[in-house]
Amino acid sequence: MRRILAIGLTGQVGEALLPSLPALGEVWGLSRDSHPDQAGITWLRGSLQSMPPLPQGIDTVLSLGPLDAFADWFERVELPGVRVIALGSTGRQDKRDSNDPRERDVAVALSGAEGRLFAAGFRRGAAITVLRPTLMYGRGRDDSMSAMLALARRFGVVVLPAGATGLRQPVHVDDVAGAVLACLAEAASEGHAFDLPGGEKLAFRAMVERSLARHAPGVRVRVVPRALFRSLLALVGLAGIRPVGPGFLERVGRDQVADGSTAGKALGYRPRGFEP
């Protein structure tokens, strides 16, 4: 039986994993907040920047939060020979050429964190796997789809710029959690990174409209010229509302897709279509 340290277990992927982890062994979850222990889960209070003393014999580490912070921590600690499964993001590729410097910084940070994590694993004999989901949804806790739906209910309309035709592959958090579990069972996944797209490609506008039909019926999409959309963003920004970043206007017309075939072969990864 494994002795598992799960970092980010209170997030959306952690929530999806929680029921399955106790069957794998002893589990310690790290959180900044206090949580009562539950069947199979012992909670440690702390963070990657302020880690409490760890139990002896940890042999598996799950990183379900920001990859750069985890890589920083893993470079500092002595956990030789452990099995590590960490979540990254396809944003390392999608945002690499963004016209928003903050998004480019995100891409650089993700790529750098992956490299540092694999290098630290090589030095310490640790078996590393990085999983890169696309746009995640499914538990109402994401910062993109759920935030958009909240604004749609508030204003009764979603405004999109003309040309919002870039393809997307949103992935359900339960499918990402399933890939984490598959990595624990498949030694062939060690030392590799896998993109985890959803099982369906659809245009950005179609993704939005399907989400609205399910979660905000009656709210409609209004398409406006790109120049007007840019002006509207500036206007709502004056009111302290920033629904999207400055790179959105360029990205919304560009495909952001990934190849899940490698994960399919190695992990049996078979994600569902988009079911908001």
Q: Which long-range contacts (CB under 8 A, 24 or more apart) does 13-20 make?
A: 13/64, 13/87, 13/136, 13/173, 13/176, 13/177, 13/180, 14/64, 15/139, 15/141, 15/173, 16/138, 16/139, 16/173, 16/174, 16/176, 16/177, 17/62, 17/64, 17/177, 17/180, 17/181, 20/177, 20/181
List the chain domain ranges: 2-267
Q: What is the pLDDT along the chain (276 residues), one digit of tens a residue?
A: 899 999 999 999 999 999 999 999 999 999 998 888 888 899 999 999 999 999 999 999 999 999 999 999 999 998 889 999 999 999 999 888 888 888 889 899 999 999 999 999 999 999 999 999 999 998 877 777 787 888 888 889 888 999 999 999 999 999 999 999 999 999 889 999 999 999 999 999 999 999 999 999 999 999 999 889 888 877 766 556 666 767 788 888 999 999 999 999 999 999 999 998
**How is domain 2-267 classified at the architecture level of CATH?**
3-Layer(aba) Sandwich (3.40)
User: How do residues 118-170 score in pLDDT, each as one tens digit?
Assistant: 999 999 999 999 999 999 998 877 777 787 888 888 889 888 999 999 999 99
156, exposed or middle or buried, with CB in 10 Å at 0-12, 13-18, 19+?
Answer: exposed
Closest CA to 131 of 276, 275, 8: 8
The encoded tokens of residue 71 equal 């890589």
Is the model's pTM score more than 0.85? yes
- Distance between first and last Cα of the chain: 35
